[in-house]
Amino acid sequence: AVLSSGLSILFWLNFASSLFGGSLAIFMFELYFGLLVFVGYIVFDTQEIIERAHFGDLDYVKHALTLFTDFFGVFVRILIIMLKNSIERAEEKKRRRRD
C-alpha cells in the first residue's frame, strides 16, 4: 500500500508540474522520491517472487519482466542524476575558467 501511494504521489506531482509549470525543487523531489519508490518495488517484487516460487509458481519470464521494469525505473533515475551532476560540473569548470 505504501509503494502504491508513493507511485500515486509521483503521478500527481508530475501531472501538477505539467499543468502549472514545475520548479527544480519539485523535479529533484520527483527524481529522488521516485528512486526510493522503485528501490522499494525491487525489494517487494523480489520478496513476492520468492514467495510465489515456494508455492510452485515458476514462471521465470513473468518474474524476470517484473524485475526488469523495476530495474529500468531505477536505471533511468540514476542516469538522470548522473547527467545532471555532469552538467553541473561542466558549468562549474566553465565558470572557473572565466574567473
Q: What is the dihedral of CA 59, 62, 66, 69, to 10 degrees?
A: 150
Delimit the domains of the chain by residue range: 2-98
Local structure of residue 57 (DSSP, 8 states): -
Which distant-in-sequence residues (6+ apart) come within 8 Å of 89 by Cβ?
none
- Bigger pLDDT: 59 or 99? 59
Top pLDDT among 14 and 92 is at 92
Rounded Cα gap, residues 14 and 32, in angstroms? 13
Q: Which tens digits make up the pLDDT trace of 27-66?
A: 999 999 999 999 999 999 999 999 999 999 999 999 999 9
Element of type H or E holding 27: helix 24-54
Using a 10 angstrom Cβ sphere, with 0-12 exposed, 13-18 middle and 19 or more buried, the burial of residue 40 is middle
- Given a cut of 90, whether residue 80 has pLDDT beyond it is yes
pTM (whole model) above 0.85: no
